Structure 1
Amino acid sequence: MEQEIAILFFLLKNALARAFRPQCLSVYLFFLLSACAPVGPDFLKSELASQNQWLESSEQGLEPVPADVSLWWQVFNDPVLNELVESARANNNNLEIAGLRVLESRAQLGIAIGTLYPQSQRINGNATHLSPPDSSGPTSNYWQYGLNFSLGWEVDFWGRFRRGIEASDAAFMGSLAAYDQALLLLTAQVVDTYTVIRATEEQLRISRENITLQKRSYDITEVLYRNGQDSGLDMQQANSLLLSTQSTIPTLESALKQARNALSVLLGQAPGSVNALLARAKDPNIIPLIPTDIAVGFPADMLRRRPDVRQAELQAMAQNALVGLAEADLYPSFSLIGSIGLTAGGPIDDDFDNLFDSDAITYSIGPSFSWPFLSYGRIRNNIRVQDARLQQALINYRETVLQAAREAEDAMAAFNGSTQQSVLLKKTVASSKRSNELAMLRFREGFSDYQRVLDSQQALFSQQQRYVTSQSDKVRNLIALYKALGGGWEDRRGLPMISPQTKETMEQRTNWGELLDGAYSPSDNADKQGGIPRPDW
């Protein structure tokens, strides 16, 4: 058998030598090497129009100096929060779906690269036993044998396949930007939800503290009423205020449970799974503390950093390539078609060994072209469709840049406003506490009625709630600012895009080659010097 295979390769070699004679080789090379520049528009990278400075002043601690916001949540110096963010990044389901979309885009890029090589190649073999009719001449049955290799290669004369690779590569890079955006949003969601939990816990603490205070006041009015020293009005008013404050507890407890459940889901866990981790904090009721000085960089840094801006640009780049791909349909396509094979058998001699004789070789090779010149407007209108989509993508990119700038300015304005409000409310709480102490003292000494005590206690509870809300809003506005600045994704190169369990499952189901290990890196397959990219096996 080994001898027969060696003979087969020897015969194929001789046949190819005869097929590619010098007079034919020049024709073949003409088709292979005469590809022109890809038709269609080349993408022109837009310059990002941005201001030199932020509109908001730096009076509230926002410093316009170069900023590293890749790990921005660590400015709160909260170990529990840091652990929650790391757990969410490793286990969040939506983030893993974004990672799988990157793998999908990478495989699509491999398909596009494959179109640049011979699009049709096939090996055929047959062994057929024939029984001819008596009227055909031969009166005995016989065998026919055949072994054939055929190939068809459409030359990328107008850049159709190169435009397809360009579009797929931009789509792949866009999926990476989408993953970065998902990582950015996840990080902000985790920190924001954690802030809501701590603020709600603080609200509960304040409610219980005021219930204790109001209960003492109610007990005093009850004693005075029973001793006949006061009417029942003061006792009923004190009881009404106490019940009103107690009614806030169930609502706050429900909100706290819902926030904890939401945080559990963000971490890819069942509701209630984070309670033990949250309880490990030194002071569970402390809202994350904000540093004194916060570096926010410059507007141009923000636009270069934001993944959604980069994704919008890559979407426009991919659509630009699709315009060229559609335009290539206007022109004829040129191909090289060839086959080489061995044929043996017949009514005279149907010995299988004849298949490997030199006389058994058959081959054909030559160019061909196809030109759908009567498309009745289909091709031209498809180009118009793609061009309209390109213009939409370009305008969407411009809108994304504007929205990014607006979000950053809005977040700064909100942060400055909540900071100023928090300072005032802190003074208000201190004044309300003193007012309540004085009102209670004057009531006990008989210098004022109980209405002053009711008003002061009601005002104290209200101002304390407002102060906690303003503290929470201040932190949440800073979170929105970091999100608007595009922070929280730069360190993703060390993160796996899919979990080890998912990777193992996919490897057992499908041959993924090395894509599961390196799909999160930009493709190095496309030759920057204009060469032919390597097939992605």
Structure 2
Amino acid sequence: MLKFSSLSAPTQGYVDGIRVKGKSCLSILFGASVTLLLSSCAMGPDYQRPEIEVPAQYHDDLAQESQENLGLANWKAFYLDEDLQVLISHALAQNLDLETVRSRLIAARREVTVTDSALYPAFGINADAERSIDSAITNTDPEHGNEFTLDGTVSWELDVWGANRRRSEAEYANFLSAQEALNLAVISLISDVASRYYEWLDIEQRYLISLNTVEIRLKERDLARLRKQNGVISGLQVRQAEVEYQSAKVTLPDLDFERKAKANQLKILLGEFDYPLALKTQQEITAYRQLFPTSFTVGVPSQMLSQRPDVKAAEQELIAANANVGVAKAAFFPQFTITGSYGTETDDLSSIFDSQGVTWSLLGGITAPIFNAGRIAAQYDISQEAFNQAHLNYRSTVLKAYFEVNDAMNSFRRSELAIEAQQELVEASKEYTRLATLRYRNGVSSSLDLMDAQRSLFSAELTLSQVKRDRLLSLITLYRSLGGGVLTQEELAQITDQENAD
């Protein structure tokens, strides 16, 4: 270790017996340090994106006339229901979990600043004051003495092997990963709000269907009692009407609980204790006006890799792990540090800025590992295994993402076929019920035929509502699996502006 210093002397010092100006000495060493730093290289491998051969196409092809990639559509262009758009906008502004992820993003941005600070010199000020008196035992006339010192200090660790640059690279990748985590949280929140909303509407519709069926069967029971009093039918048929009435009525408590529970789930997403959810009439619920785009394409798997936040976040984690390998490798080599100070020293505080007692010091240090019981080598091995784990996680994320899109497409196709078949069943059940009602009123058939027809219609209508719900949910899942609903650059900028304002 070499040390250059001068205490309580004019602005000059001695280096190896040669007198030089103090500032010149600092300038020479500082310039040499910068030259050495700029000519150095960063340890460890430079990142290269892994080559993953994804299939050229998905198993199914949903491409239609429109060539707009569904995953690139803004959520307002995908969710066309105006009532749902209001709910999503409110959730994006008030959801507590999303606020937590936003806070993590802001903290990750600050971590980048903290890590980057190691690339630059650190400057400070040091002020000392001392008052002392000599011992009366060794001095017959002890005197008080004052000493005041004011120094400017600088310290810098030269990044010769690029360890700090690799740390900066890793931290910036962690920040980008946090940004993708925010995008993923936004996608999840939007799809969850939409899913809970349409599940709630489905339960509301089934509840209304059950209420309507209960009213119809109540009238049928009362009519059966009246006909028995007139001797037209037997008591057995009255009991049968009573059973059908109670069978429809027993579904109401469960449906009432489900619709309240689903509304509560929606309010949690909205971040409100009592958000007023607008109920729709049975006609509005049954209408199922255009809720989504009628024409779209899912693109190709290679596009999905650049659309899904979880895939991009996994790659940023891989980049950070790769940079940490360089940090661990740099630990095998010496570290170079420079510290210095420049100030004045005086015995009178009032003359601290005018004192001729100029002091300065310059210290250059080298620290090299010699023996550490294998700790540095083990940390290097750990960093390599962490990189391998991140690589496997990236490949696994891509694989899962590909099949999630395939499964969502299969689910959407199935719901399309199911809804057509179920609508035909409902129409057939309505006609069956109409004919059975006429035959019963004309005395051609028994009440058993009418009750069987009503039971079939009731079941078919409930199932149709569920199938319509499944179709909506499958399309929401498809949009989500393609990475639809990510934040735009303007929305990210708004978060940054809010951060700066805070």
TM-score, with length taken from structure 2: 0.89
Rounded Cα–Cα distance in structure 1 between residues aligned with 2:448 and 2:10: 109
Identify if the C-alpha distance between structure 1 residues 447 and 369 changes in structure 2 by more than 3 Å, giving closer, same or farther.
same
Change (3 A) 1:94 1:158: same
Secondary structure, aligned partner of 1:342? strand
Q: Is the 8 A contact 1:330 1:373 kept in 2?
A: no
> Match of 2:17?
none
- In structure 2, do the counterparts of structure 1 residues 343 and 397 end up closer, same or farther at CA, with 3 Å as the change threshold? same
1:178-327 matches, cutoff 5 A: 178-271=181-274, 273-275=275-277, 277-278=278-279, 283-284=284-285, 286-287=287-288, 289=290, 290-327=292-329
1:404 aligns with 2:398: no
Q: Hey, what's the Cα distance between the residues in 1 that align with 2:209 and 2:299?
A: 37
For residues 21-40 of structure 1, the aligned pairs below 5 Å read: 21=24, 25-35=27-37, 36-40=40-44
- Quick one: structure 1 residues 464 and 15, their matched pair in 2 at CA, closer, same or farther if it must change by over 3 Å? farther
* Separation in 2, partners of 1:13, 1:438: 116
Query: CA–CA distance in 1 between the matches of 2:486 and 2:477?
Result: 15
Counterpart position of 2:92: 89
Structure 1 stretch displaced more, 222-231 or 175-184: 222-231
Amino acid at match of 1:189: D
Q: Which whole-Å CA distance do the structure 2 matches of 1:148 and 1:281 have between them?
A: 81
Deviations 1:7-32 (CA, angstroms, capped at 9, x unpaired): xxxx999569812437x755543333
**Superimposed CA distance per residue, residues 420-464 of structure 1 (whole angstroms, 9 cap, x where no aligned partner):** 011001000111111112222222333332222222111111111
Contact 2:209-2:461 at 8 Å conserved across structures: yes
Q: Distance in 2 between matches of 1:453 and 1:264?
A: 42
2:471 to 471, 474, 479: 474
- DSSP-derived class of the 2:160 partner: coil
Residues 163-217 of structure 1 show CA distances to partners (whole Å, capped at 9, x for unaligned) of: 1111111111111100000011111011111111111121122112222332232
Aligned residues: 485
Q: Distance in 1 between matches of 2:268 and 2:400?
A: 29
1:413 aligns with 2:410: yes
Q: 1:517-532, aligned counterparts within 5 Å?
A: none
Give the Cα–Cα distance (whole angstroms) in 2 for the partners of residues 304 and 354 of structure 1. 62
Contact 1:70–1:490, Cα closer than 8 Å, also in 2 = no
Structure 1 segment 36-435 matched on structure 2, within 5 A: 36-58=40-62, 66-67=69-70, 69-72=72-75, 74-119=77-122, 121-137=123-139, 139-271=142-274, 273-275=275-277, 277-278=278-279, 283-284=284-285, 286-287=287-288, 289=290, 290-345=292-347, 353=351, 356-358=354-356, 360-435=357-432
1:263 and 1:274 in contact (8 A); partners too? no
- Cα distance in 2 for residues equivalent to 1:31 and 1:152: 12
Instruction: Return 5+ residue gaps in structure 1 as ranges.
Output: 1-10, 504-514, 519-537
Q: 1:126 to 1:73 in 2, by over 3 A?
A: closer
Q: What amino acid does structure 1 have at the position aligned with 2:386?
A: R
**1:4 maps to what in 2?**
none
Gaps of 5+ in 2: 1-7, 14-19
Question: Do the aligned partners of residues 288 and 308 (structure 1) sit closer, same or farther apart at CA in structure 2, a change above 3 Å counting?
Answer: farther
Range 87-96 or range 139-148, more displaced: 139-148
For residues 240 and 419 of structure 2, the distance between their equivalents in structure 1, rounded to whole angstroms, comes to 31
Contact 1:53 1:64 in 2 (8 A): no
Q: Choose which of 505, 512, 516 in structure 1 pairs with 2:500.
A: 516
Partner AA of 2:263 in structure 1: R
Q: Provide the secondary structure at the position in 2 that maps to 1:374.
A: coil
- Identity percentage of aligned residues: 28
1-structure distance, mates of 2:196, 2:489: 21
Shift of 1:268: 1.5
CA contact (8 A) 1:204 1:249 kept: yes
Query: Relative to 1, partners in 2 of residues 1:306 and 1:382: Cα closer, same or farther, differing over 3 Å?
Result: same
Asked if structure 2 preserves the Cα contact closer than 8 Å seen for 1:306 and 1:486, the reply is: yes
Q: C-alpha separation between the residues in 2 aligned to 1:99 and 1:48?
A: 31
Letter of the 2:106 partner, please give it.
Answer: L
Task: Name the aligned partner's letter for residue 260 of structure 1.
Answer: A
- Give how far 1:301 is off: 1.9
Judge conservation of contact 1:197–1:256 (CA < 8 Å) in 2: yes
Answer whether contact 2:70 2:482 (CA < 8 A) is retained. Answer: no
Q: Aligned partner of 2:484: which letter?
A: G
Match of 2:59, SS state, is: coil
Measured in 2, the distance between the counterparts of 1:234 and 1:497 equals 69
Residue 460 of structure 1 aligns with an amino acid whose one-letter code is: L
Structure 1 pair 380/76, CA: closer, same or farther in 2 (3 Å)? closer
Q: Given the superposition, is the C-alpha separation of residues 489 and 434 from structure 1 closer, same or farther in structure 2, using an over 3 Å criterion?
A: same
**Distance between the aligned counterparts of 1:63 and 1:413, measured in 2?**
20
Q: Is the 8 A contact 1:160 1:328 kept in 2?
A: yes
Bigger shift: 221-230 or 439-448?
439-448
Deviations 1:380-439 (CA, angstroms, capped at 9, x unpaired): 111111211111111111111111111111011001001101100100011111111222
CA contact (8 A) 2:33 2:158 kept: yes
Classify 1:285/1:330 alpha carbon distance in 2 versus 1 (closer, same or farther; 3 Å).
same
Amino acid at match of 1:283: E
CA drift at 1:281: 11
> Who is 1:6 aligned against?
none
Backbone CA RMSD of aligned residues: 2.8
- 1: distance between equivalents of 2:283 and 2:453? 32
8 Å contact kept, 2:311–2:394? yes
